[in-house]
């Protein structure tokens, strides 16, 4: 969508530049003002001259340029908002404790899908030692609770 709008906007811009450059200037000197004014003022085909056609075409192309500019800006803002919303959703999911897929690298570190270290090998060893110690304390308590026959 953005590519198509960019192409349309560039084509309309080039057309507007060309149409403006094809028109004659208003200040052609005193002799041009007197002679040219007599021809266009008293001429029969005043609305059919090249300058009149270019003037109408300039107005049409200028309106197309304004419409394409506004449309291009609106689509760009909409695209930015959607991308920003997706980024915020991912950030919120990570902050809310959503499960993160992790794996082990060659050094024994726990890494996420993007390669960021979630837990180092030393931290992993400490956590396993704490877990084993906690399970070791609970095991005798469970053994004493077994009914005697």
Residue 111: CB atoms within 10 Å: 15
| pTM of this prediction exceeds 0.85 | no
CB 110 within 8 A of CB 124: yes
pLDDT score, position 143 = 47
**Res 68: pLDDT:** 94
CA dihedral 81, 118, 110, 101 (to 10 degrees): -30
pLDDT at position 31, please?
47
In the prediction, which pLDDT does 141 show?
47
* Residue segments in the chain with a per-residue pLDDT below the cut of 50: 29-31, 139-144, 149
Can you give the residue ranges of every domain in the chain? Answer: 2-99, 103-142
| CB of 40 closer than 8 Å to CB of 28 | no
Per-residue pLDDT tens for 37-64? 555 555 555 567 888 888 899 999 999 9
Task: Provide the pLDDT for residue 140.
Answer: 47
Residues 6+ apart with CB under 8 A from 27: 33
**Assigned token pair, 108:** 């024994």
């Amino acid at each position: 969508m953005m590519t198509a709008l960019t192409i349309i906007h560039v084509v309309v811009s080039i057309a507007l530049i060309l149409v403006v450059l094809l028109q004659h200037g208003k200040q052609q000197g005193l002799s041009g003002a007197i002679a040219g004014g007599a021809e266009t003022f008293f001429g029969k085909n005043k609305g059919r001259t090249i300058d009149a056609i270019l003037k109408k075409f300039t107005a049409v192309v200028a309106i197309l340029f304004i419409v394409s500019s506004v449309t291009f800006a609106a689509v760009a803002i909409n695209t930015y908002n959607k991308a920003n919303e997706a980024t915020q959703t991912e950030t919120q999911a990570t902050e809310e404790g959503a499960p993160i897929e992790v794996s082990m690298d060659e050094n024994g570190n726990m890494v996420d899908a993007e390669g960021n270290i979630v837990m180092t090998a030393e931290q992993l060893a400490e956590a396993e030692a704490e877990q084993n110690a906690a399970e070791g304390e609970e095991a005798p308590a469970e053994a004493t609770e077994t009914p005697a026959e």
